[in-house]
Structures are given as C-alpha cells and as structure tokens.
C-alpha cells in the first residue's frame, strides 16, 4: 500500500517531533505528580519499579501508538477506522480513536484548573507572597485559592485560552513553535533548580530518599501506581502520540525516537524529584504531602531560602511551561478530527472545543468549594474525572493499542512502518512485549485500579 505523505502537514524535522512528543509527555505528571507519588510510596523502590515499567511497557506501546498514527495519516478516529479496514478487522476499532479523543478533552478540562493555580502562584510570588511565610500561611494561601470560584475560573479561562490560541495557529506555526521555545526553557529552569538543590543542606537526604531501593517499603498498590504513572507520564492511550505520529516526517525511526522521548520524559521526572526533595528535607517538611506538595511545601521552602522569590518564580514558570506543552497535545486529536471530518476551519474547531472543555472544567473548579460535599460515584467531580481518565480510559486505550498493533495488524505492515526487519531481534522483542507483556501488565493496573 502506498503512503501519501503529500497532503498531510508534517513536523519539519525529527528533532521537532521529539520536542513535541516529549512536551506532550512532560507535564504536570512529571513535576507535580511524580514527586508526590514517590514521596507517598517510599522513594527509591517506587522509582525503580517505575523505570522498569517505562522500559517494558511504556516504550513498546509508544512505538505502537506512533506507528498507528504514522500509518493512518489522519486523526485517531479516522486512523483506527482506516487501519481496521486494511486489516479486515471489526470496524468497531474506530471507538478506540474516539476514546482517546474523549480522554484528551476530559484530562484537559481538569488539567487546566491545576495549571491555572500555577499561574496564580506566579502572580502571588511577584506580589510578595513568599516573604515570611509559615506553614499556616502556606495552607491558608492554597485553601483561599481553592475556595475562590472567581480566581479559579479566571485562571482556568486564561489557560484554556492560551492553549486554544497556540493550537489555532496550526501544527507548524503553533505547536512546533511553542515546543521549540517551551522545551529548552523547561530543561534550563529545571537544571538551575537542580543546581540550587545540590547546594542545599538536604541534598544528600533527598538523593538517598529517591535512589535507595528498599523493597520493604513497597506495597502491591505502589507497584500498580508506578505502572500507572509510567503510562500517564508518557501520555499514552489518549490519542496525543497517535496524532503526533501522523505528523512524523518520512524516514524517521519510530523505535529510536520513542526511546529518546521516554528517556527525556523520565529524566525530567527524576530531575524534578532531585530539585524538590532536597528542598523538602532541608526545611524539615513531609515528602508524603500528597497532591498539594508543590502548593503547600514549596512556597514555604522558597520563602526561607536565598533568592527564594527568584527560584520560586522560576519553579512555577516551569510548571506552566510543562502544562502548556502537554495541554496542546491533549486537544489536538479532537481539533484534527473536527477539521478533517466536518471541514470546519481550525479557528472554529478551537473555539468550539475550547468552550466544551472550559465548561467541563468548571466542575473541577466547583469541586473545592460549592460542590465539595457533592459525591460523584463516591468522590468529588474532579476525583471522578481523574479516576475515569487515568485509571480506566488510558489503561484500556493502552491495552487496545497493544492488541491492535500486536495481534490484528499484519506483521509485514508493522515491521514496514517501524522500519525494522521482521526476523531481527529488535522486532521480535517489540512483538513479544506488545503482544504479551504490555497487555497483561496494563490489565493488572486496570484491575488493581478498579478493585
């Protein structure tokens, strides 16, 4: 079958694809979620299991998802319909594409509210929030923000607006230009923060906490959480990697780029931990502070340190960068579908998708104030969306991607798209991981999450 690359817009180089895919993968999950999950699950052993999961499942599924996108050359929904047709498989496979698109919209709706909080903190730091802060003050600050519908709505609106503005400019003028600026900026800020942490009193303690492997501190639950985190941090199963795969220039090795993206993504998560834990320990704070780790403990730490305002500012700017590079990839599959399927302009599609995502996000805004006691399946509205997307939709998406690439597609087609020899060691390893290891392991995460 001939590939028609001519009419599909493409990233201008392999490097741009790596920056975009890494940008999609590197988000609040690495800098906000990874450190607090490491903190809650005993440190080094969690990090070790996480790394094994990235290598054994993350990379094979990322290769599979990129390959599906590259082969289909369309949005995730049309790609799955086309590939199912080629493989003479059940046309219902297109719902895998639908699930990815939907997951992206759901995740962006609450992601935007959390990202909005980080924008708020930039403002607070600039206006002197960090002077003489104590724990009560830090807690009052985040509680005050969570209680303010006006402020949460303001920043949520601004963040969705920024995301839509970038996506509206298109793949080359919008997404490409944004990641070429955001990703190097993110690495730079992170390195400065790591150097700062290296000079703090808690550095050795922080390093020991992250890299001393004590399996006694691991529960079965921690293993499942590490597996889940490996999955979400690589942004698999939400259509983002599939859509970016469709913009991949011809002749680029999917295996190599997937490995590089996974490596960069993991590096950011670990560097974030190295930057955060020494600051936490040097100030005698609790590493297992949960989701509010960065909003409660870090402002407190920054307030007491040399040039704290500058470093605090840099940290929250870093978070906004990370959030933006991910948010553009979360909504791109939906935009691409609407533009290709209904022939709307990119601008119209972005405005429509922006309004829908913004409206859904208001449920998360209300979750910390007027709906705080309202229960949706036993949790808050935000908790429900987070659980539905992270613990159900993404793992199911990941399993189905692995099954489709490993069992449904013709072997000759997958080998051709991956550009590796069918009887080579690399292809056989990938096939084994994607046919057996990944689906079984991810199914365990799913069952663990459900029961």
DSSP class per residue in 363-405: HHHHHTTTTTT--BTTB-HHHHHHIIIIIIIHHHHHHHHHHII
Tokens of 435: 């046919």
User: Which residue matches tokens 């983002």?
Assistant: 240
* H or E element at residue 116: helix 94-126
Q: Which of 94, 124, 164 is nearest to 357 (CA)?
A: 164
CATH code assigned to 14-450? 1.20.1740
* Residues contacting 261, CB < 8 A, separation 6+: 18, 21, 22, 25, 62, 234
| Owner of token pair 């923060």 | 193
Other C-beta atoms within 10 Å of 333: how many?
30
Run means of pLDDT, 10 residues per run, the chain, 451 residues: 54 84 82 81 88 91 93 91 92 93 94 92 82 75 88 96 90 81 83 85 87 82 81 84 89 89 90 85 73 74 78 85 88 92 92 96 92 84 86 87 93 89 92 93 80 74
Q: What is the predicted pLDDT for the residue at 2? A: 39
pTM greater than 0.85 (yes/no): yes
| Cα 349 from Cα 344, distance rounded (Å) | 6
Q: Which of 325, 310, 307 is nearest to 184 (CA)?
A: 325
Confidence (pLDDT) at 289: 66
Q: How far is the C-alpha of 288 from the C-alpha of 341, rounded, in Å?
A: 46
């Amino acid at each position: 079958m001939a590939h028609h690359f001519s009419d599909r817009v493409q990233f201008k180089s392999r490097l741009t694809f790596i920056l975009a895919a890494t940008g999609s993968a590197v988000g609040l999950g690495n800098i906000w979620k990874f450190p607090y999950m490491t903190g809650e699950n005993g440190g080094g052993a969690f990090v070790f299991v996480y790394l094994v999961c990235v290598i054994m499942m993350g990379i094979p599924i990322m290769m599979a998802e990129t390959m599906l996108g590259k082969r289909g050359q369309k949005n995730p929904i049309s790609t799955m319909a086309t590939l199912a047709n080629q493989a003479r498989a059940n046309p219902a496979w297109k719902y895998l594409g639908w699930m990815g698109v939907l997951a992206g919209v759901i995740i962006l709706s609450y992601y935007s509210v959390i990202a909005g909080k980080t924008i708020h903190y930039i403002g607070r730091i600039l206006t002197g929030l960090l002077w003489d802060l104590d724990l009560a003050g830090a807690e009052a600050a985040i509680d005050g923000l969570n209680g303010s519908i006006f402020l949460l709505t303001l920043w949520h609106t601004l963040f969705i607006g920024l995301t839509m503005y970038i996506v509206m400019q298109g793949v080359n003028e919008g997404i490409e230009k944004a990641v070429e600026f955001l990703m190097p900026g993110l690495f730079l800020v992170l390195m400065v923060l790591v150097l700062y942490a290296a000079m703090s009193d808690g550095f050795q303690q922080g390093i020991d906490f992250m890299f001393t492997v004590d399996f006694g501190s691991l529960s079965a639950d921690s293993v499942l959480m590490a597996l889940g985190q490996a999955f979400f941090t690589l942004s698999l199963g939400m259509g983002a990697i599939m859509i970016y795969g469709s913009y991949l220039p011809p002749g680029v090795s999917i295996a190599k780029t997937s490995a590089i993206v996974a490596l960069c993504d993991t590096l950011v998560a670990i560097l974030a931990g190295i930057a955060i834990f020494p600051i936490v320990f040097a100030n005698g704070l609790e590493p297992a502070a949960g989701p509010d780790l960065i909003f409660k403990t870090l402002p407190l730490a920054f307030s007491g340190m040399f040039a704290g305002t500058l470093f605090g500012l840099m940290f929250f700017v870093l978070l906004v960068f990370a959030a933006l590079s991910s948010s553009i990839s979360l909504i791109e599959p939906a935009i691409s579908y609407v533009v290709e399927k209904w022939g709307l302009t990119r601008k119209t599609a972005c405005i429509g998708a922006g309004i829908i995502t913004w409206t859904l996000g208001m449920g998360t805004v209300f979750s910390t104030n007027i709906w705080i006691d309202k229960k949706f399946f036993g949790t808050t509205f935000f908790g429900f969306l987070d659980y539905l997307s992270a613990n159900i939709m993404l793992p199911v998406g990941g399993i189905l991607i692995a099954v489709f690439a490993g069992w449904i597609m013709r072997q000759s087609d997958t080998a051709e798209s991956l550009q590796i020899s069918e009887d080579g060691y690399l292809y056989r390893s990938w096939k084994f991981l994607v046919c057996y290891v990944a689906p079984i392991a991810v199914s365990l995460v799913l069952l663990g999450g459900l029961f």
